[in-house]
């Protein structure tokens, strides 16, 4: 009985690791410019003290539409970084809808506004 429980847990754990490995993100960042700061955002890693805007939605395309463009109007002086993330579920959704339902998960950091 205990053996079965352990096997079950290991299977679930393996599945979770597999699913985690199936999703990934890439950060494209600007060599120049300083990120817009946010004194209240304190987290380990790249986004520490940066002002972050998360864009998350499912985009529906019609039969005649091929691709979509997300137009951001918040960064008045350009992007400091953009992270695009794709999860395992997003890939499945895209596959089984023949590319007509695309999940968009983007994390945007703007360049800190200057005073010129």
Partner 1 sequence: MAHTTTHHITEWNNYHFNGPYPTKCLFNIDTDRNIVSLIDRFNDSASGIQALIKDSLANNERFRAYGSAWSLSNVAHQSDRMLFNASLNIRLEVKDSQLHPAKSYLSENLFLFQCGNTIKEISEFLQKKGKSLKTCGASNGQTIAGAISTGVHGSSIDVGSVQDCVVGLQLIIGPGANDLIYIERESRPALADEFARRIKSRVIRSDALFNAALVSLGAFGVIHGVVLEAEDIYLLKRYVKKISKADALQIAATMDFTNARFKLPDEVLRDGTVNRPFHYKLYINPYNASEDFVTEIIYKKPYRTNYPNPVPFVQNAIFKDIPTWVSAFAAKHKRIIPKILDALRSEAFPKVDEVIEGTLGEIFWDTSQSSAAFGCGFGIDIADSPKALDLFIDLMNDKGPIPGILSMRFVKASEATLGFTRFPTTCILEVDGVPWKGNQNMISLDDFLTDVIKTFRDNGIGFTLHWGKNAPWSFPNLVDLMYGNADDQWKDMRSILLSKEMADLFSNDFLNTVRLADYRVNIAPNFVALRDAIAASVV
**Site for partner 1, rule CB under 8 A:** 31-34, 37, 39-40, 42, 44-46, 48-49, 112-116
Distance CA 16, CA 73 (A): 37
- Return the number of the residue (5 or 31) whose C-beta is nearest partner 1: 31
State in Å, rounded, how far the first CA of the chain is from the last one: 71
Nearest distance from residue 34's CB to partner 1, in Å? 5
Contacts of 21 (CB under 8 A, 6+ apart): none
What burial class does residue 50 get, using C-beta atoms within 10 Å of its C-beta: 0-12 exposed, 13-18 middle, 19+ buried?
Answer: buried
Nearer to partner 1, 17 or 58 (CB): 17
Task: Give 49 or 65: the residue with its C-beta nearer to partner 1.
Answer: 49
Closest contact distance (angstroms) between CB of 71 and partner 1 is: 23
Smallest gap from Cβ 45 to partner 1, in A, equals 4
- What is the Cα–Cα distance from 113 to 116, expressed in whole angstroms? 9
We find the least distance from the C-beta atom of residue 78 to partner 1, in angstroms, to be 13
3-state SS assignment for residue 53:
strand
**73 vs 114, which CB is nearer to partner 1?**
114
């Amino acid at each position: 009985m205990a053996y079965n429980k352990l096997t079950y847990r290991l299977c679930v754990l393996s599945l979770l690791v597999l699913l985690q490995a199936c999703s990934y993100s890439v950060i494209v960042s600007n060599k120049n410019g300083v990120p817009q700061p946010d004194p209240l955002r304190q987290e380990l890693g790249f986004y520490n003290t940066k002002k972050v805007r998360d864009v998350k939605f499912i985009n529906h395309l019609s039969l005649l539409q091929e691709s979509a463009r997300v137009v951001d109007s918040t960064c008045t002086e350009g992007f400091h970084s953009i992270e695009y993330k794709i999860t395992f579920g997003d890939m499945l959704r895209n596959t089984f809808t023949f590319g007509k339902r695309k999940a968009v998960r983007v994390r945007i950091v703007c360049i800190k506004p200057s005073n010129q």
